[in-house]
Amino acid sequence: MRSRLPQIFFALSTLALVLIVLAVWQASTPSWKTYQRNFLQLEAQGEPSAVTKAAVLATPPEIHQVMLTGLQRVDRCTTCHLGVDDPTMKNAPEPFRYHAGLGPHIPSRFGCTICHGGQGLATEKDAAHGKVDFWQTPLLTRDYIRASCGRCHKEGDVPGVPELTEGRHLFETQGCRGCHKLNGVGGSIGPDLTEEGANRRSPEWLEHHFIAPNAVSAGSPMPNFHFTSEQARALTYYMLSLTNEEMGTYYSSVRLIPSPEYGRQLFVEKNCIVCHAIGGIGAKSGPDLLGVTKQHSPEWLDEQLVNPDLVYPGSSMPEYDLETNARKALVAFMTSATPQDAQEILSGKGHTLTPEDAAIEAGKRDFARFGCAGCHGTELQGGLPNPNAQGGEVPSLLHVSDDYTKDEILAVIRNGRAPPLDKASGPTPPLYMPSWKNLLSEEDIHHIVDFLWSKQQKSKESW
C-alpha cells in the first residue's frame, strides 16, 4: 500500500492539472467569440487594403454591453448582433444584420430587450433568447413584438399599433376592472394585471385565453366574452405591454405630449361633464372648473387627479387610473377651457342635462368604469354562465325594479352578495357580487341605482 503512494500522487496531480486546464479551456471558448470572429471576417471583406483588413481582424474579442440605467437593464445582445447599428450590414446574415427602421429608438439608448424580450445579461444564444427554464420573458415573435411599444407609449394612439388602442379601449369598456386590478384600481376576483406582461405566460396562451378562458385555464371563473380574434389579439397586445417597469424620464418623455387637445379628448372620454361644469355649463355635483387652474397649482391638481380623497377627504370624485401625461393634459385643458367648450361637449351628447339625467349619466359611467358590465353585460342583459347559482347564470338587471326596492338594491351593491344556490349540496358558484362600499362612494352607488332604474323604465315603456 505504501509503495503505491507516489504513483497515486502522480496520477492525482496530473488529473488535477488536466481538470484545471479543461476548466480554463471551457471558460476561454464561449460561443460569442466565434460570432465575433465571423463578424470580423465579414467586416474585413469590405476593407480596401490588406493592412486595414489585418487591422480589423486583429480586433480583440470582447463583450459589448449597453447599460440602460433608465430602463433598469443591461443588454449584451450586441456582443453577437454586431451589425445592428451599421447600415452597411443591411444584407448581412443573422446575427449580424442591420436593424432598419428604428427611427429615434437607437440601440445605444434603448438596447434590445425592452422591445424584443429575451435575457439581456446572457451571452449564450438560447439563454439570451430566453428559451431556457427560469427566464420569464423569451423573445417575442414577429406577431406580437409591436405590443412592446405600449411599455413606453402608455397613452393615446401609438402610430402603427392600432391593437394597443383597441385593447385599452376594450379593457375600459368591457368591465375588466370589475374583476381585475390594474395599477391599484379594480376588483379582486381575478388576478392583478399590473405586471401581466412580465409574467411567463406566452402570447399564444393569452390570446387563446381571451377566446376561450376555460380551454387553457381549467375552472377559471372568467366568463367567455365571445371576443372576435381581432379583439383577442388587441387585448393580448395590451396585456403584454403591462410590465409596471420604472422608466427613466428619457423614456417617459417620448410618450404622448400633454397637449390641451389630448386633455379635451380625455375630458370627453372620462365623461367629466356629468359632474363638473365649465363656467356654469354642465352638471353641478362637482365644482365648476372655470378658472380652477388659477386657484390651484398644477401639482395640487395633479394630486387631486391621482387621489381625490387625499386632497378632499370624503370627496365623491372617483379615482381614475390616469398616466402622468394624461393628468398633465387634463390640467392643460382646464387652463384653456371655456363655457363654449362645455357647450360643445354637451351638444356632442345630443341633449342638455337635467340634474336627474346627470345622475343617470354618472351612474352609467360608473357602471362601465367599475366593471359592472363585465358580468351584468353592457346592456344589463346578464346571462354569463355561473354554475350552481340560481338560474345558472349571472342575473339580468333589466327587471330588478319588479323584484326589489331601490333600498334593497342599494344594500346589495354596498354589501355584496353570494348568489343563492341552485342545489345546496353543489359547489360554490365561481362568480359573486362583491361588496362595493369601500370602492364606491355612497353618491356613486346612488347614481348606479338611478341608472338601473332609468333602464327599467325604458324596458317597461317598450313593453
**Lookup result for grid cell 432598419:** 100
Decide: is 306 part of the binding site for another protein (CB under 8 A). Answer: no
Of 30 and 287, CB closest to another protein = 30
273 class by beta-carbon count within 10 Å (0-12 exposed, 13-18 middle, 19+ buried): buried
Cell of residue 4, nine digits: 503505491
Instruction: Give the CA-trace dihedral at 70, 75, 79, 83, to 10 degrees.
Output: -60
Of 7 and 249, CB closest to another protein = 7
Residue of 48, 60, 87, 104 interacting with another protein (CB under 8 A): 87
Of 218 and 424, CB closest to another protein = 218
What residues form DSSP beta bridges with 403?
A: none
Cell of residue 177, nine digits: 376592472
Cell of residue 13, nine digits: 496531480
Decide: is 58 part of the binding site for another protein (CB under 8 A). Answer: no
Candidates 85-93, 331-339, 373-381, 455-463 — which segment interacts with another protein by CB under 8 A?
85-93
Candidates 20-28, 283-291, 368-376, 438-446 — which segment interacts with another protein by CB under 8 A?
20-28
Of 11 and 310, CB closest to another protein = 11
Alpha-carbon gap, residue 284 to 441, rounded angstroms = 17
Min CB(214)–another protein separation in Å: 11
Contact present, 290 and 282 (Cβ < 8 Å):
no
Alpha-carbon gap, residue 123 to 221, rounded angstroms = 42
Decide: is 27 part of the binding site for another protein (CB under 8 A). Answer: yes
Of 133 and 402, CB closest to another protein = 133
Decide: is 463 part of the binding site for another protein (CB under 8 A). Answer: no
Cis status, amide bond into 61, omega within 30 of 0:
no
Of 56 and 412, CB closest to another protein = 56
Min CB(201)–another protein separation in Å: 8
Residue of 16, 54, 310, 418 interacting with another protein (CB under 8 A): 16
Decide: is 20 part of the binding site for another protein (CB under 8 A). Answer: yes
Min CB(50)–another protein separation in Å: 21
Decide: is 310 part of the binding site for another protein (CB under 8 A). Answer: no
Contact present, 449 and 409 (Cβ < 8 Å):
yes
Decide: is 45 part of the binding site for another protein (CB under 8 A). Answer: no
One symbol per residue from 101 to 120: x for binding another protein (CB under 8 A), - otherwise; what is it? -------x----------x-
Residue of 41, 136, 307, 338 interacting with another protein (CB under 8 A): 136
- Cα→Cα distances 111→85, 371, 436, Å: 11, 38, 44
Of 191 and 298, CB closest to another protein = 191
Residue of 55, 57, 67, 212 interacting with another protein (CB under 8 A): 67
Identify residues 182-201 at the interface with another protein (CB under 8 A): 191
Own/partner contacts of 54-61, CB < 8 Å, gap of 24 or more, are: 61/32, 61/33, 61/36, 61/37
Decide: is 457 part of the binding site for another protein (CB under 8 A). Answer: no
What spatial distance separates the first Cα and last Cα of the chain, rounded to whole Å? Answer: 107
- Alpha-helix residue ranges (DSSP H) falling in 270-338: 292-295, 298-306, 308-311, 324-336
Residue of 38, 183, 217, 335 interacting with another protein (CB under 8 A): 217
93: how many CB neighbours lie within 10 A of its CB? 10
Alpha-carbon gap, residue 206 to 39, rounded angstroms = 38
Of 10 and 312, CB closest to another protein = 10
- Cα→Cα distances 360→102, 275, 352, Å: 48, 11, 13
Min CB(250)–another protein separation in Å: 13
Own/partner contacts of 351-358, CB < 8 Å, gap of 24 or more, are: 353/273, 353/274, 353/282, 353/283, 355/283, 355/284, 356/450, 358/274, 358/275, 358/283, 358/284, 358/285
Residue of 35, 96, 135, 333 interacting with another protein (CB under 8 A): 135
Considering CB under 8 A, how many residues would be counted as binding another protein? Answer: 50
Of 183 and 343, CB closest to another protein = 183
Using CB under 8 A, list all residues that contact another protein.
Answer: 2-3, 5-17, 19-24, 26-28, 62-63, 65, 67, 72, 74, 76, 85-88, 108, 119, 121-124, 127, 133-136, 191, 216-218
